[in-house]
């Protein structure tokens, strides 16, 4: 094994030789520089492998004497890991800087190597004064690096850095001197066991040392200097400071924080949390991407401090190595590669004047993929390492410290909102920017991130995770790889991918989940047929559709809590990316993302709490033994995603602004994810909903009120897609309400309604997408009379609205019949009344939909529109055939559903021939269909005898009295169609939820602005802030210690 | 054989309901005219209207849906009637009530209304859409107290079967729902006022001042079919209310007396009160009638 000290020596040595050699032998100098970095990386990885295989940690004594006489350097697995990170970051950074260094000779490469060497020293050293020396080396070298940029801001920020880190060094040195005075040693390991440490002097000295490191770690509010540094530095240097240097200092903190008593850990945790939340809060206000990354870096340091101190307080100092590796390792790798990768993206796309426009990043598909991947990695989404770290962290601390979990998740929510906002901007520029070469280095970082995760899964670090859950990613990538093929071949392959995924996922699933997965995949494949219609304008859309269908489908095939959470996160991410593809969908997608992630985090908190409380990983056992609080959190997460009343404001815009061809997948399929989630949680944890607090009754009320308000809001819409969006909200409300009943009839109704909703909502959106593509508008009053031009589409919408309204003989009536029966059986009579009212109000929007679009006066500009293409009509009429089949023979569908539900509840309905008998009444779908056909045919035949007398006339124009109103649509009968209804009860339909959430957003924004203003840009203010921070921290710590 | 017999019984039942419905409509028109101080049309005017309309040489159609509108409407009325058992214990008048229960009838009422609304919509005249919009809006409002009343009945009798509800009221007059559950009955009777669209809830058809709209746009056999439906549909509604709240009927004379009496409620209110605007009408139904319905549920 190579002596680890050599890494340090070689880096320092090469640093000095490089400066001397470069003027004479450039190639040799560069070879030496990169050789030193590769050497360091190779040695670190060699040692890391050694330690992972069971090697024992060692101590290096450079002078040959043991402490307190000599200096001791520690070298174990953690040191080897961090050292690998430092060298990897250094190597990638130096590659990114090569061109700059080559073109403008400066001391940059030397200072760069010095920073790396100093960081290695910080990692290895276990001597306080030695640490001080390395702190000084790295401070000076990084300040020097900032100055090499030769622009004013860099030099100024370097000066601020020197000012603040100088103060920190003074504190560190004073603390070191005092500790040496009272313990007689500078070796950390000896100080830690010294009885003198327990006194006031020991406490104060230790505090000064740790406070200095906290300042170096950029803890809020003493971090304004760091924000300026990371914003003004060359992006690659900023990456070096943010990742390599900061991680090395973090390791120093890791070594020395046990100097203070365990009671004081909460103060560190709080400081870390405040930094994490405040950084991401202030980040929301940024319109400079690099500064946003600076805030993100600072936030990450806060999270690290929180994680280190709080996991220590949970476990004592005996944190299981696997847990520590996943949490800290996952976050650190992500920090290095994702954050570093994004800084490198900035460097790659900066123009000659130093301006960075994120919209340029999406100018190539690869560029778009890379920035999407890096941002998702930073946001902690699967399959990237931070996802596993986040899950493990929350799972480990949920049981003991739920409030801390909530604060972490709040900060994480701010972070993901911020990141997605920037992602939306990046992807927006794809079509109208000059094409740039993709950022290869960042691509390598992204690839490595994925590799780490997949490697960890294969190493068996997550025994409760089956790799098949990542099938959606394979599907998405496979569909993306064939994006260059002709459209119809692409779609055929996509359908094949869904089929193959079905073969892989369906046999492994069971019960309701199995049926769910099969139905989602089948419906997705059927809907894909509509894409055959025309060439794909957006090469991202098809892979994302495939990804969305697969991520929704895989939810039915999961077995463990971790698998469920992974699938949920995948689905959230991919569906948000699908929505953001819409022309003006950036804001809507951000809203969808915000509410979805808020729901996802509630789900995470609930799942983590349940897993830690039960000690189980299997989803059924986790739910079955979960405490009530976790069940409430989990179901709240599902309700957020379902867009129930109060958190529904994302629904209309997300549906309306996504691409017309994407909406059916969001409306018909993604909306089923919370339904299967609720069914699973009720299936296994029904008892948790009944108790002193009737949580299920509340969910039931939320469900019926969602149904009512969904229908009411839908009635007042002018945009057909928003109308359908609110309609979906209403329909999902019914399903949630009957799930909450927790009864046999209720559940049969829920599954029946859910399946039915997939069919008719898919049919409606496919049909309406066809209408919009022909008429080029989604405003209903601009349409009209299309029945003559698009009769087959009219029939499809007619079938859909009859099915939705519950009018016999179509299968919607069966759903309504079971729903009311279930409500009345359970004694939920008022809920039944509200549901009935909602069902009545639904007629308003259903009539408006069909009348305004297809009936009434045709518009001149639509006089020649054509019927939808055959590729759209085929799936439409397959769905209609299925609806008619269910209507005629409901038993074929209901019997399997009833058998599935019977595994959970005793049956309260049974069949007598074709008659379905409940405890209250009966329903004979077959007979109803026959009677309806009979009573319909009778007058029709009578009329047909008179058909010769029929004279066809054309609609006539209505002329208004020569007035040209400012808003002509206001004179149209179809505009504000239900004005009288709005006048009657519109007051209850005022957008209160929108006003509430707008208020929340404004308050958050204002708070973020307030936090942002702490970083004034003035070095003296920063110095004062540091002193105040240290004083206040000392005050609180003394309170705790005393 | 069974199917032929059933079909014959059904035919008889439908004809009886149709004739009775048309007759009641004729009588009511006469009564209303007399209250207004007019002589009014003869009692058999509804029959004349049907014959006259069907005798027209031609009829205008704006398209397939326009043509289907009256078919839907008539099928809706016919279907609603055949799903209701008209005379308790009668083989001839039990109709096809085995197909489903009260919920089926409540939802089948919408079948004809929806079809009619679509048919009129294709005519293209805004007045049709305005009338339908008002009609649907008013319907959502009066259906609420009616639904609450029905739910209350379902809880009271523990069944949604109309036959079973009628059977439960056979122990004497005091066992009728109007006495055992008066709140639910009054909530439903308020709803009936809306359903019958007599004043003050006749803004939907606004017979005096809207020169166009569904009834005016249709003519010939199409209008004849709408006239026919008026007969069958009014019978269906009145029989349903009789069954649910007034003990049903053991024979046709009782059926006629009870349904006529129930209809008179709309007539009396209609001649006594002026018309509501659409929004006033909606607010009315969501007021007292709904509160009565909720109380009926809570007291249950």
The reported pLDDT for the residue numbered B228 is: 92
Query: Which positions in chain B touch A927 (Cβ < 8 Å)?
Result: 96, 98-100
Residues of chain B with C-beta less than 8 angstroms from the C-beta of A981: 137, 140, 278-279, 282
Q: In chain A, what percentage of residues exceed pLDDT 90?
A: 42
Eight-class DSSP state of A55:
P
pLDDT above 50 for A439: yes
User: Where does A543-587 show beta strands of DSSP type E?
Assistant: none
What is the pLDDT at residue A958?
47
**Does position B209 have pLDDT exceeding 70, yes or no?**
no
Cα B86 to Cα A594, B89, B150, B243, B249: the distances in Å are 57, 9, 18, 8, 8
If you count residue pairs, one on A and one on B, with CB atoms under 8 Å apart, how many are there?
Answer: 242
Distance CA B127, CA B203 (A): 12
Whether A989 has a pLDDT exceeding 90, the answer reads no
Q: Is the pLDDT of residue B208 over 70?
A: no
The predicted-structure confidence for A471-509, as pLDDT tens digits, reads as follows: 998 999 999 888 888 888 889 999 999 999 999 999 988
CB–CB contact A955 B60 (8 Å): no
| Residue range A746-782, pLDDT digits in tens | 999 999 998 888 888 889 988 998 999 899 899 998 8
B134 interaction partners in chain A (CB closer than 8 Å): 980
Question: For residues A787 and A955, is the Cβ–Cβ distance under 8 A?
Answer: no
The per-residue DSSP string of chain B comes to -HHHHHHHHHHHHHHHHHHHHHHHHHHHHHHHHHHHT-----TTHHHHHHHHHHH-S-EEESSHHHHHHHHHHHHHHHHHHHTS--STT-SGGGTTGGGB-HHHHHHHHHHHHHHHHHHHHHT--HHHHHHHHHHHHHHHHHHHHHHHHHHHHHHHHT---HHHHHHTTTT-GGGSHHHHSHHHHHHHHHHHHHHHT-TTS-TTT-TTT--SSHHHH--HHHHHHHHHHHHHHHHHHHHHHHHHHS---SSHHHHHHHHHHHHHHHHHHHHHSPPPPHHHHHHHHTTHHHHHHHHHHHH-
Q: Any idea where the domains of chain A sit in the sequence?
A: 1-259, 261-462, 464-693, 707-907
Question: Given this model, what pLDDT does residue A435 score?
Answer: 58
Question: Are B283 and A985 inside 8 Å of each other by CB?
Answer: yes
* Interface-testing mutation among B124, B144, B224, with chain A (most A C-beta atoms within 10 A): B124
Dihedral sign (CA A14, A17, A19, A22):
negative
Higher pLDDT pick, A584 / B71: B71
CB proximity B211 to A under 8 Å: no
| Per-residue pLDDT reduced to its tens digit, A875-888 | 999 999 999 998 88
Question: B61 and A952 in contact by Cβ < 8 A?
Answer: yes
A913: left (phi over 0), alpha (psi -120 to 50) or beta: left
- Interface contact flag, A956 B286, Cβ < 8 Å: no
- Determine the average pLDDT of the residues in B57-76: 84
Instruction: Please write the tens of the pLDDT for every residue from A333-344.
Output: 898 889 999 998
Say if the Cβ atoms of A808 and B111 lie within 8 Å.
yes
Full-prediction pTM beyond 0.95? Answer: no
C-alpha dihedral over A41, A42, A45, A47, to 10 degrees?
A: -120
What is the distance in angstroms between the Cα of B257 and the nearest Cα belonging to chain A? 28
Quote the minimal CA–CA distance from A285 to chain B in Å: 46
Query: Does pLDDT of A901 surpass 60?
Result: yes
A721 pLDDT above the threshold of 70: yes
Q: Is A988 on the interface with B (CB under 8 A)?
A: no
pLDDT at A284 over 90: no
**What residues 100-129 of chain B have any CB closer than 8 A to a CB of chain A?**
100-104, 107-108, 110-111, 114, 117-118, 121-126, 129
Indicate yes or no: CB of A829 within 8 angstroms of CB of B300: yes
Whether B100 and A946 lie within 8 Å, measured CB to CB: no
Q: Measured between CB atoms, does A953 come within 8 Å of chain B?
A: yes
Which of A688 and B195 is assigned the larger pLDDT?
A: B195
What pLDDT is recorded for position A715?
Answer: 93
* Inter-chain CB proximity A951 and B58 less than 8 Å: yes
Q: Who wins on pLDDT, A152 or A196?
A: A196
**Where does residue A889 rank: exposed (0-12), middle (13-18), buried (19+ CB within 10 A)?**
middle
Comparing CA positions, the residue from B170, B163, B250 lying closest to residue A921 is B163
CA–CA separation, B149 and A837 (whole Å):
13
Q: Which of A840, A920, A936 sits opposite B139 (nearest CB)?
A: A840
User: Which of A200-214, A298-312, B51-65, B286-300 shows the lowest per-residue confidence on average (mean pLDDT)?
Assistant: B51-65
Q: Any idea which of A159-173, A311-325, A801-815, B223-237 has the lowest mean pLDDT? A: A311-325
The mean-pLDDT minimum among A291-305, A975-989, B154-168 falls in A975-989
- Token output for A854: 């297809």
pLDDT above 50 (res A957): no
Chain B, 25-54: which have a CB under 8 Å from a chain A CB?
Answer: 54
Query: For position B113, what pLDDT does the model report?
Result: 84
Closest Cα to residue B205, out of B196, B65, B37?
B196
Mean pLDDT of A626-651: 91
Token digits of residue A866: 């054509």
Best residue in A984, A986, A988, A989 for a mutation probing chain B (most B CBs within 10 Å): A984
Write down the mean pLDDT value for chain A.
87
pLDDT tens column, A594-627: 999 999 999 999 999 999 889 888 998 998 888 8
pLDDT of residue B145: 95
Is residue B211 scored above 70 in pLDDT? no
- Closest Cα in chain B to A708: B140
Q: Is the pLDDT of residue A348 over 60?
A: yes
The confidence score (pLDDT) of residue B129 equals 84
Q: How distant is the alpha carbon of residue A582 from its chain centre?
A: 18
Q: Which two tokens stand for residue A558?
A: 């999961």
Task: For residue A383, give the DSSP letter.
Answer: T
Say whether pLDDT at B28 is over 90. Answer: yes
Confidence bin at A153 (pLDDT 50/70/90)? confident
- Count of domains observed in chain B: 1
Looking at per-residue confidence, does A649 or A532 come out higher?
A649
Is it the case that residue A990 has pLDDT exceeding 60?
A: yes
Q: Which of B151, B203, B298 to mutate to test the interface with A (most CBs of A within 10 A)?
A: B151
Cα distance between residue B67 and residue A940, in whole Å: 9
Question: DSSP label at A810?
Answer: S
- Please judge whether A855 and B122 are an interchain contact, meaning their C-beta atoms are less than 8 angstroms apart: yes
Tens digit of each residue's pLDDT (9 = 90 or more) over A833-846: 999 999 999 999 99
- Is the separation of the CB atoms in A159 and A46 below 8 Å? no
Burial call A1010-1041: b when 16+ CB within 10 Å, e when fewer: ebbebbeeebeebbebbeebbeebbeebeeeb
Smallest CA–CA distance, residue B266 to chain A, in Å, is 23
Interval A702-712 mean pLDDT: 95
Residue A538, pLDDT above cutoff 80: no
- Cβ A475 vs Cβ A501: under 8 Å: yes
So what's the pLDDT on residue A692?
A: 55
Q: Please give the Cα distance from A661 to A542 (Å, whole number).
A: 10
Render pLDDT for A647-674 as a digit per residue (tens, 0 to 9): 999 999 898 888 888 888 988 899 989 9
Residue A1041: the pLDDT is 61
| B window 152-191, beta carbon within 8 A of A | 152, 154-155, 158-161
Contact list, B154 vs chain A (CB under 8 Å): 824, 920
Taking CB atoms and an 8 Å limit, are B58 and A840 in contact across chains? Answer: no
Long-range contacts of A481-490 (CB under 8 A, 24+ apart): A483/A365, A483/A539, A483/A542, A483/A543, A487/A531, A487/A532, A487/A534, A487/A535, A487/A536, A488/A532, A490/A536, A490/A542
Under 8 Å between Cβ of A936 and A802: no
**Residue range A925-930: mean pLDDT, rounded:** 88
pLDDT in tens, B116-145: 888 888 887 777 888 888 888 999 999 999
Model pLDDT, residue A433: 55
Reported ipTM: 0.94
B55 in contact with chain A, both atoms CB, cutoff 8 A: no
Q: Which of A810, A818, A829 to mutate to test the interface with B (most CBs of B within 10 A)?
A: A829
Q: In this model, does residue A1019 exceed pLDDT 90?
A: no
Q: Is A832 on the interface with B (CB under 8 A)?
A: yes
Query: Is residue A317 over pLDDT 80?
Result: no
Query: Cβ neighbours of residue A770 under 8 Å, at least 6 residues apart?
Result: A530, A790, A793, A868, A869, A872
H or E element, residue A951: strand A950-952
| Domain limits for position B178 | 2-299
Q: How far is B33 from chain A (nearest CA, A)?
A: 31
- Residue A679 pLDDT greater than 50, yes or no: yes
Mean pLDDT across A384-394? 91
Minimum-distance CB partner of B279 among A808, A836, A980: A980
Higher-pLDDT residue of A342 and A443 is A342
pLDDT mean over A207-230: 90
Q: Residue A58 carries which DSSP code?
A: E
């Amino acid at each position: 094994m190579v002596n680890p000290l050599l890494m340090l020596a070689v880096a320092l040595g090469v640093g000095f030789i490089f400066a001397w050699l470069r003027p004479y032998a450039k190639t040799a100098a560069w070879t030496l520089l990169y050789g030193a970095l590769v050497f360091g990386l190779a040695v670190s990885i060699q040692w890391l492998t050694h330690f992972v295989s069971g090697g024992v940690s060692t101590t290096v004594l450079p002078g040959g004497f043991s402490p307190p006489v000599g200096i001791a350097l520690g070298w174990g697995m953690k040191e080897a890991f961090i050292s690998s990170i430092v060298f990897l970051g250094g190597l990638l950074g130096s590659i990114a800087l090569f061109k700059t260094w080559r073109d403008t000779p400066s001391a940059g490469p030397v200072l760069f190597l010095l920073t790396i060497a100093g960081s290695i020293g910080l990692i290895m050293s276990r001597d306080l004064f030695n640490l001080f020396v390395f702190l000084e080396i790295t401070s000076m070298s990084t300040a020097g690096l900032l100055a090499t940029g030769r622009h004013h801001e860099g030099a100024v920020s370097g000066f601020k850095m020197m000012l603040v880190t100088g103060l920190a060094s003074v504190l560190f040195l004073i603390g070191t001197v005092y500790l040496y005075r009272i313990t007689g040693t500078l070796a950390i390991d000896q100080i830690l066991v010294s009885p003198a440490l327990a006194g006031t002097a020991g406490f104060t000295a230790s505090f000064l040392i740790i406070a200095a490191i906290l300042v170096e770690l950029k803890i809020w509010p003493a971090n304004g200097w760091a924000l300026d540094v990371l914003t003004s530095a060359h992006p690659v240097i900023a990456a070096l400071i943010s990742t390599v240097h900061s991680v090395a200092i973090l390791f120093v903190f890791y070594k020395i924080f046990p100097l203070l008593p365990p009671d004081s850990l909460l103060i560190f945790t709080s400081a870390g949390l405040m930094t994490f939340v405040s950084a991401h809060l202030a980040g929301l206000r940024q319109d400079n991407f690099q500064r946003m990354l600076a805030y993100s870096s600072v936030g990450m340091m806060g999270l690290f401090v929180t994680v280190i101190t709080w996991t220590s307080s949970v476990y004592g100092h005996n944190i299981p190595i696997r847990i520590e590796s996943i949490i800290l390792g996952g976050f650190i790798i992500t920090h290095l590669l994702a954050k570093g990768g994004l800084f490198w993206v900035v460097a790659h796309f900066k123009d000659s004047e130093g301006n960075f426009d994120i919209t340029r990043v999406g100018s190539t598909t690869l560029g778009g993929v890379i920035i999407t991947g890096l941002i998702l990695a930073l946001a902690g989404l699967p399959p990237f390492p931070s996802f596993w770290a986040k899950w493990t962290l929350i799972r480990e601390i949920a049981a003991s410290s739920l409030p801390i979990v909530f604060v972490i998740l709040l900060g994480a929510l701010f972070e993901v909102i911020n990141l997605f906002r920037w992602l939306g901007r990046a992807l927006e520029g794809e079509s109208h920017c000059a094409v740039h070469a993709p950022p290869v280095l960042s691509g390598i970082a992204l690839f490595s991130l994925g590799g780490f995760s997949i490697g960890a899964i294969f190493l068996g670090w997550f025994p409760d995770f089956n790799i098949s859950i990542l099938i959606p990613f394979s599907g998405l990538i496979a569909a993306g790889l064939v994006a260059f093929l002709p459209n119809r071949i692409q779609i055929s392959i996509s359908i094949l991918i869904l089929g193959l995924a079905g073969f892989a996922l369906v046999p492994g699933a069971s019960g309701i989940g199995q049926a769910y997965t099969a139905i989602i995949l089948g419906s997705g494949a059927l809907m894909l047929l509509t894409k055959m219609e025309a060439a794909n304008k957006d090469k991202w859309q098809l892979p994302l559709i495939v990804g969305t269908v697969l991520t929704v489908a895989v939810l039915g095939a999961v077995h463990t809590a971790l698998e469920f959470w992974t699938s949920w996160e995948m689905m959230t991410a991919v569906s948000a990316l699908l929505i953001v593809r819409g022309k003006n969908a950036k804001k809507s997608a951000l809203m969808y993302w915000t509410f979805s992630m808020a729901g996802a985090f509630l789900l995470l908190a609930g799942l983590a709490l349940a897993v830690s409380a039960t000690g189980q990983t299997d989803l059924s056992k986790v739910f079955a033994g979960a405490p009530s609080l976790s069940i409430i959190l989990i179901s709240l997460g599902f309700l957020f995603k379902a867009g129930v009343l109060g958190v529904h404001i994302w629904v209309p815009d997300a549906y309306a602004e996504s691409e017309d061809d994407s909406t059916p997948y969001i409306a018909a399929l993604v909306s089923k994810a919370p339904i299967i989630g609720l069914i699973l949680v009720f299936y296994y944890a029904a008892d948790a909903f009944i108790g002193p607090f009737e949580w299920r009754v509340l969910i039931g009320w939320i469900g019926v009120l969602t149904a009512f308000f969904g229908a009411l809001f839908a009635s007042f819409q002018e945009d057909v897609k928003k109308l359908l969006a609110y309609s979906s909200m209403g329909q999902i409300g019914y399903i949630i309400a009957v799930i909450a009943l927790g009864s046999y009839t209720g559940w049969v109704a829920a599954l029946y309604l859910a399946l039915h909703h997939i069919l008719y909502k898919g049919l409606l959106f496919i049909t309406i997408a066809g209408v919009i593509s022909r008429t080029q508008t989604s405003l209903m009053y601009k349409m009209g009379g299309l029945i003559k031009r698009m009769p087959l589409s009219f029939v499809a919408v007619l079938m859909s609205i009859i099915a939705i309204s519950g009018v016999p003989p179509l299968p919607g009536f069966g759903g309504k019949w079971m729903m009311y029966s279930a409500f009345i059986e359970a004694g939920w009579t008022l809920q039944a009344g509200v549901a009935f009212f909602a069902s009545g109000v639904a007629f308003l929007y259903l009539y408006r939909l069909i009348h305004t679009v297809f009936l009434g006066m045709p518009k001149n500009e639509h006089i020649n529109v054509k019927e939808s293409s055959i590729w759209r009509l085929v799936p439409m009429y397959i769905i209609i055939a299925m609806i008619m089949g269910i209507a005629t023979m409901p038993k074929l569908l209901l019997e399997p559903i009833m058998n599935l539900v019977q595994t959970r509840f005793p049956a309260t309905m049974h069949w007598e021939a074709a008659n379905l008998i409940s405890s209250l009444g009966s329903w004979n779908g077959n007979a109803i269909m026959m009677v309806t056909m009979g009573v319909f045919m009778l007058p029709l035949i009578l009329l047909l005898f008179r058909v010769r007398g029929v004279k066809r006339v054309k609609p006539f124009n209505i002329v208004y009295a020569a007035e040209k109103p400012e808003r002509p649509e206001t004179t149209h009968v179809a505009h504000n169609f239900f004005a009288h209804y709005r006048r009657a009860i519109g007051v209850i339909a005022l957008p209160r939820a929108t006003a509430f959430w707008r208020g929340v957003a404004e308050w958050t924004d204002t708070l973020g602005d307030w936090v942002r203003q702490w970083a004034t840009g003035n070095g003296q203010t920063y110095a004062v802030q540091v002193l105040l921070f240290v004083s206040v921290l000392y005050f609180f710590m003394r309170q705790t210690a005393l | 054989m069974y199917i032929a017999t059933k079909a014959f019984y059904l035919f008889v039942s439908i004809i009886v309901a149709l004739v009775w419905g048309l007759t009641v409509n004729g009588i009511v028109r006469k009564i209303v005219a007399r209250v207004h101080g007019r002589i009014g049309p003869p009692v058999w005017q509804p029959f004349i209207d049907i014959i006259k309309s069907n005798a027209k040489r031609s009829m205008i159609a704006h398209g397939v849906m326009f043509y289907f509108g009256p078919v839907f409407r008539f099928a809706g009325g016919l279907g609603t009637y055949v799903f209701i058992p008209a005379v308790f214990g009668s083989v001839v008048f039990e109709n096809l009530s085995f197909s489903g229960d009260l919920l089926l009838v409540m939802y089948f009422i919408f079948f004809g209304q929806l079809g009619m609304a679509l048919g009129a919509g294709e005519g293209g005249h805004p007045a049709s859409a305005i009338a339908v919009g008002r009609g649907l809006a008013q319907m959502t409002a009066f259906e609420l107290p009616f639904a609450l009343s029905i739910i209350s009945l379902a809880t009271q009798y523990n069944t949604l079967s109309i036959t079973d509800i009628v059977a439960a009221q056979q122990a004497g007059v005091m066992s009728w729902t109007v006495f055992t559950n008066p709140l639910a009955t009054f909530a439903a009777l308020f709803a009936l006022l809306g359903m019958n669209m007599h004043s003050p809830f006749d803004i939907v058809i606004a017979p005096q001042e809207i020169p166009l709209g569904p009834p005016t746009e249709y003519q010939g056999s199409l209008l004849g079919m709408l006239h026919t439906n008026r007969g069958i549909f009014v019978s269906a509604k009145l029989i349903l209310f009789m069954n649910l709240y007034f003990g049903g009927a053991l024979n046709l004379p009782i059926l006629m007396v009870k349904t006529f009496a129930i209809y008179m409620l709309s007539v009396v209110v209609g001649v006594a009160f002026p018309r509501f605007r659409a929004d006033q009408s909606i607010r009315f139904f969501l007021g007292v009638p709904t509160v009565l319905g909720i109380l009926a549920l809570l007291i249950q």
